[in-house]
């Protein structure tokens, strides 16, 4: 599958593996790259990759118009992914935002 990718590096962000209980399972690594992928001939991003050191997550994205309607693959939507989506003109429902 061919995609168009938009990348952004967040040098001050940290990533760690977190259990669904909220317990941190790994030592955080600093510096996070987020890659939004959009399939050829489509407008909305289909997924986001989050990479930091040896940490990697792929997040499936679903939209209703210009609003994020669902995501899959991570416990919570990383702030950095939400920021990139907002910069691209998408709205992020409050329940998906990290407080």
Domain boundaries along the sequence of the chain: 3-93
Q: What is the pTM of this model?
A: 0.86
Q: Is the dihedral of CA 29, 11, 60, 64 positive or negative?
A: positive
Judge contact between 61 and 68, C-beta under 8 A.
yes
**Predicted pLDDT at 99:** 56
pLDDT in single tens digits along all 99 residues of the chain: 677 899 999 999 988 877 777 788 888 889 999 999 999 989 999 999 999 988 888 999 999 999 999 999 877 889 999 999 999 999 999 888 775
């Amino acid at each position: 599958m061919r995609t168009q990718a938009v990348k952004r590096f967040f040098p001050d962000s940290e990533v760690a593996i977190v259990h669904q209980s909220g317990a941190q399972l790994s030592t955080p690594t600093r510096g996070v790259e987020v890659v939004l992928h959009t399939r050829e001939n489509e407008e909305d991003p289909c997924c986001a990759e989050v990479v930091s050191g040896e940490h990697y997550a792929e997040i499936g994205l679903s939209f209703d118009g210009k609003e994020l309607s669902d995501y899959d693959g991570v416990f919570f939507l990383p702030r950095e992914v939400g920021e990139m989506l907002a910069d691209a003109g998408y709205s992020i429902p409050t329940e998906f935002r990290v407080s």
